[in-house]
């Protein structure tokens, strides 16, 4: 586990196996459980939170646990460009399952890679929608950072 700190956002954590990302926690106002990371991915995340347009398409993520549908959702999420949004229904259709918007929402809620597999770019048909334990305001901040709102 590697911690990284982002001014104005807090402390986040990366769980890696070599260079493969296993899990990523977004920065929040809490104490770190490990020393600050000097890892290239931590530096990229810091640049993203500083407002730089950073792409994470090349980051190797561990999707070995996922079903074929979950892997398709992850790939569809990774294809959503910086600064753009889709609805849960549109995400499901992009993954090849146009009537699976609830399943797409469940996948986003359990997303292990919140920026690398950017579920914050998925919004409800009638508004912003939630963002797990960090809440809708955190999602709004991310979308504002990307000038998507």
The catalytic site residues sit at 119
The span from the CA of 132 to the CA of 7, in Å, is 22
Q: What is the DSSP letter of 142?
A: H
**Long-range contacts made by residues 58-64, C-beta under 8 angstroms, separation at least 24?**
59/21, 59/113, 59/116, 60/19, 60/20, 60/21, 61/20, 61/21, 61/112, 61/113, 61/116, 61/117, 62/17, 62/20, 62/21, 62/22
Q: How far is CA 126 from the centre of its chain?
A: 21
Give, to the nearest 10 degrees, the angle between helix 68-78 and helix 101-109.
80
């Amino acid at each position: 586990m590697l911690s990284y700190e982002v001014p104005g956002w807090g402390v986040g954590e990366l769980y890696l196996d070599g260079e493969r990302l296993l899990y990523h926690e977004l920065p929040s106002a809490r104490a770190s459980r490990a020393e600050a990371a000097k890892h290239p991915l931590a530096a990229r995340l810091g640049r993203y939170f500083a407002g730089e347009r950073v792409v994470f398409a090349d980051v190797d993520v561990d999707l070995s646990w996922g079903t074929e549908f979950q892997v398709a959702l992850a790939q569809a999420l990774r294809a959503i460009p910086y600064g753009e949004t889709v609805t849960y229904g549109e995400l499901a259709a992009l993954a090849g399952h146009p009537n699976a918007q609830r399943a797409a929402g469940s996948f986003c809620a359990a997303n292990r890679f919140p920026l690398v597999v950017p579920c914050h770019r998925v919004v409800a048909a009638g508004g912003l929608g939630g963002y797990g334990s960090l809440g809708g305001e955190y999602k709004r901040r991310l979308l504002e950072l990307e000038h998507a709102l």
